[in-house]
Each structure stands twice: as C-alpha cells, then as structure tokens.
Amino acid sequence: GPRSFTGEDCAELHVHGGPAVVSGVLRALGRLPGLRPAEPGEFTLRAFRHGKLDLTAAEGLRDLIGAETEAQRRQALRQAEGDLGRLYQRWSHALTQALAHLEAYIDFSEDDSVEEETGTRGLSRCFSPRIWGSGHAVPLPGVTSGRVPAVDVTVRALEREIRGHLRDGRRGELLRGGVRAVIAGPPNVGKSSLFNLLCRRPAAIVSPAAGTTRDVLEVALDIGGFPLLLSDTAGLRRPADPVEREGVTRARHRLRHADLVLAVLDATSVSPSPAALGAAVAALDPPADAPRVLVLNKADLLGGGDRGSLSATCAQGPPERPATLLSCKTGEGLESLLELLARQLARLCGDPLLGSPSLTQSRHSRHLGACAAALARFGRGDSGDLAVAAEQLRLARRELGRITGHVGAEDVLDIIFRDFCVGK
C-alpha cells in the first residue's frame, strides 16, 4: 500500500493446477490465525473506504464483471475508469465554488476586499451593503437569492447541464440492463417461429394451431454487441378460453412496457399499401413512443408481384420504424432483420464511448433530480433571503456527494456491494 488496489498491504498467491490444488491452498490458509475468507465485494469496498475509487467506479466495476455484451463491457469499463465520477466531481466542485462566492458575499460584502476574497471581478460593486437585524441575515435591497452574478450564471449553467444529462433517453440504463423487446402480433403469424429463429434453438413450442403460446417466454440475446431481452407472447385476439385470455392479458401488459416492439404480420394476408400496414400494426396497440420493427413473415408463400409490392413498401418505411420481409421457414431475410434490430438497439443505447458518460443507475437519476430541483429553487429566489439560497446550494451539493459516496454513503453501501462475487 498505498499502490495496491485496496490501498492496503496485500499479497497475491498464483497457484497451478485444478480445483483440488486451489482448495488445498485455501484450506491451508484457513488454518492460519487471523485469516478468513473475504466477503462478497469486500476488496472493492476496502478500495472505496481508502479513497482508491468512488461509488460510481465501484458500480462500474460490478457491471464490468457481469457484462455479457461488448457494448456493456465498453460502458462499464468507462465508468469503472472514473469517467462518470469525474463528471459528478466537476459539478460538485462548481457548486462548492458557487457556494463559497455566495457565503463570502453574505459574510464580507461590506468589506472592500470581498472582490479579492471571492475571486469574482466586480462582485463587491454589484450590490448594496449587507443589512443585519438581530444577528440574522435579512433580504438585501434590490437583491434576490441567487442573484450574485457569478453564482447565478454558474447555477443556471449547471442546472441546464444536469437536466440535459437526465434527458438521455435512458441509454445507459437500457445498455446496462438490456433492451426489453416484445414480439407481438395476431395468432398463427409465426411469432414463436421468429423467437426460435433469433434464439437459434427451439425455445418455444410451434404448432399450426392458433393460440399455442399461453405465457410469456423470455431469453437474453446479444445482437450486434447490444443486450436484448426478447419476449415471445400470446397472439393478440379476444379468446374464449380463460387460460389463453390470461396469456393475452400478460402479452398486452408486456407490450405496454416494451422498449422495442417486433410487430409480426402474415405477409400473405396484408395489403401492400403503407396505410394498410400502418392500420394493421396500430390494431396491435403498441406503445406510441416505442420504436418498432415490422416483420412480414411467410415471405416464401408470396407470389412475385406481391413480393415486389411489399418489398417496395418496406423500403419506403421511416428509419425509426422499419419493415422487412422474412421467412422463418427458410431463414430468408434473417440477416436483414438482424441489421435492422442492431440499428434500433444502437439508436436506443447509443455509443458508450462517445460524448458524456450515460446514467446507468436509477439511484443516480434520483439524486440528480433532487440536485436539479434544489438548483431550480435557488434560481427562482422565492424567499429573497441569501442564507436560504446558500442552503439550496448545500442541498444540491449533498445530493451529488451521495452519488459518488462522499456524503451519506453508508445507506447505499450494502445495496451496491451485495451483488459482487467473492474475492472482488
């Protein structure tokens, strides 16, 4: 130490052989007094406590260990290397500077040296002297909270940047947890066949009889390096059978919460006009804001003229809602479908190596939302009291500190480190 991972003195044993050799070494070590097996995540927790990394980096390391796709690996590696933590530290530093300027004005505004003390040009000449009553700060004539120019500009810019960071379309969360894609369509159009084709194994039962699928089947896939949680659902209709009716209810629930919809139709029973295809998809009632891919299955049964008309209509579709012909029976069109899916996933998740690092945790969103709300209250200056304005900056800074672990981290440590494997 302090150059080890945890910042403490450490020793590493590299042993050869299979599990029996490793078990023998561990048993020998276990007989030494004072030695015990590490708890899950204990080494990373020790590194955090010794200031070797902050909580965002620890979360990134946990995600890196569990990464299943290349895009997940890139995002987790970027966070583990501290990119997200450095962004939040920069915001925290800006808030600290703004709070120092504001408190300097409150405490020393009658002093001619306030300009030098705060490091803000013209700050001492912008306002009337402070007025005190009974030892408490009272509103200054012509001054509302947060209207110290340097502070006001900083806070407004910071609030805009944080709110822009929050409006990232959940890219980081989708990449970390997987995009929830739902295969939806009427009965007997080939939804389960498509599910099996994408899984490359017979994961779902396929039958010529309509209504075979009764429950939701889900599998995790890697499409173009992006994680996809693909769900096969019951055919959307009004069934009389109570079991199938429950399956349709579950299908509609899963469809309402989908991040991406694979709308499947029978290519032999739809009109090739864009309006007719749009109406057929709308009848499935997909989420209005969810991107989708229209899959026209059973292309192997089409005649030459119908195939040409449908191909032309598919080519005219908007990039955010493309359509493609497919034959689950022959595999024709599978490569085109995979390309469309990869494009949609890239649009949803973004490139984790470009631009500002993305939000990956709901707790980050919660604390950043509270931080932005405090900055908004500061900007409104409802009370007109500079002391109250300074407290809003303290609240905002505290929320940022809770993300990185510099303030009030104890209540989230168990949640963060409980998912680590032993020895990390």
Say what the pLDDT of residue 420 is: 60
Say what the pLDDT of residue 414 is: 63
Q: Among residues 330, 288, 337, which one has the least CA distance to residue 314? A: 337
**pLDDT tens digits for range 376-393:** 998 876 556 788 888 899
Task: Using the predicted structure, report yes or no on whether residue 138 has a pLDDT greater than 80.
Answer: no
Task: Using the predicted structure, report yes or no on whether residue 112 has a pLDDT greater than 50.
Answer: no
**pLDDT tens digits for range 60-109:** 999 999 999 999 999 999 999 999 999 999 999 899 888 888 877 776 65
CATH architecture of 42-108+146-168+356-423: Up-down Bundle (1.20)
Choose between 421 and 14: higher pLDDT. Answer: 14
Say what the pLDDT of residue 104 is: 77
Give residue 122's pLDDT band: very low, low, confident or very high (50, 70, 90): very low
Q: What's the mean per-residue pLDDT of the chain?
A: 84
Choose between 293 and 121: higher pLDDT. Answer: 293
Task: Using the predicted structure, report yes or no on whether residue 146 has a pLDDT greater than 50.
Answer: no
Which CATH code is given to the segment(s) 171-349? 3.40.50.300
Task: Using the predicted structure, report yes or no on whether residue 280 has a pLDDT greater than 70.
Answer: yes
pTM: 0.78
Q: Where are the domains of the chain?
A: 42-108+146-168+356-423, 171-349
Q: Among residues 279, 312, 281, which one has the least CA distance to residue 294? A: 281
